[in-house]
Amino acid sequence: MKIAVIGAGAWGTALAVSIGRSSLVSLYGANAELVGSINQHKENQRYLPGVSLSERVQVTDALESALNGASGIVVAVPTKGLRQSVMRCHSICGDRIPYLITCKGFEVETGLLPFQVVEDVAPSARYAILSGPSFARDVGEQKSTVVSLASADLSTSDIFSEVLLLGGIRTYFNYDVIGVSVGGAVKNVIAIAAGMGDALEIGASALAGLVTRGLSEACRLGTALGAKPETFMGLSGMGDLALTCFSDLSRNRRLGYALGLGKSLRDAEGALGQVAEGVHAANEVMLLARRLKVEMPITVAVTRVLSGEISPRDAAKELFSRAPKAEV
């Protein structure tokens, strides 16, 4: 079996390395210079240094070559690049090959979740959504990882679950593509808040409360969209939220921490050097919540900080001085 992985960032490289332990992989990157470097050094020194690629992983900047003979397409690009990536793949392969979508967030301007972007571009395409507590470095170094694999079609999930398991990634099936997708999107916004809170030294007790209420926000938004509440107690909800909010490997947490120290958004993003999906998702989540009349005060606070309307310290003061109310 051959799997095409679209996107040669940290996550795409890690998945290529993992899947390459059992299958042939064609890793596509649009940056010819980066592709050349990976081929020369047999590792992605820019995005995933220290993790070697096996001979089963072929790296190319020619998309048609990457897709030729593939049984599955793993799309590992940021959400803002998903539409273009699926459009290009679909123009070459049509609906023959199923997709595994790994990005998390909402498409800017349309407010669509990743699976909705796929449906918009290719209504008849088969797809599955990969989400849950997983860092690229852990996956690349073959550390045990447990994630959710969501799809309305079990046969599509089966195609990817086998190669993922052989690479050290255990999957749990889930038919709730809305819940899995919303959990993966909102947790990035809450992680920015957690990073800011840590920089402001609000304390472990307050931080735990902040993250727990963040989970409530994700659940409220998800159920308003038709998700199952229990999904948010699982890997793509509580599991992914905990990892992203409490680990220093989290890009969104690190960005929030920099903001909490007083850095500008531009400087924080520049120091990060990679995409923090929560920056792009926050405003879309807030707009969607307002349209659905869902209360999400943490998300609103993060959005206001990102826009420069309010400082992290003032945002924290507002959140923790809100009037008491029933928990559920």
Record the pTM. Answer: 0.93
Answer yes or no: 187 catalytic. yes
Place domain 180-320 in its CATH homologous superfamily. Answer: N-(1-d-carboxylethyl)-l-norvaline Dehydrogenase; domain 2 (1.10.1040.10)
User: Helical H runs in the chain?
Assistant: 10-19, 32-41, 63-67, 82-93, 114-121, 136-140, 154-166, 177-199, 204-224, 240-246, 251-260, 265-272, 277-292, 297-306, 312-320
Single out the residue of 246, 250, 304 nearest to residue 275, CA to CA: 250
Q: Confirm whether 2-175 and 180-320 share one CATH topology.
A: no
Query: pLDDT of 40-80, one tens digit each?
Result: 999 999 999 999 999 999 999 999 999 999 999 999 999 99
Digit-coded pLDDT (tens) for 289-325: 999 999 999 999 999 999 999 999 999 999 999 988 8
In the chain, where are the structural domains located?
2-175, 180-320
Note the pLDDT tens digit of each residue in 21-40: 999 999 999 999 999 999 99
Residue showing tokens 């990060």: 272
* β-strand partners of 170: 146
pLDDT tens by residue, 82-118? 999 999 999 999 999 999 999 999 998 899 999 999 9
Give the active site residue among 42, 80, 104, 187: 187
3-state secondary structure of 306: helix
Q: For domain 2-175, which architecture applies?
A: 3-Layer(aba) Sandwich (3.40)
Q: Is the confidence at residue 131, as pLDDT, over 90?
A: yes
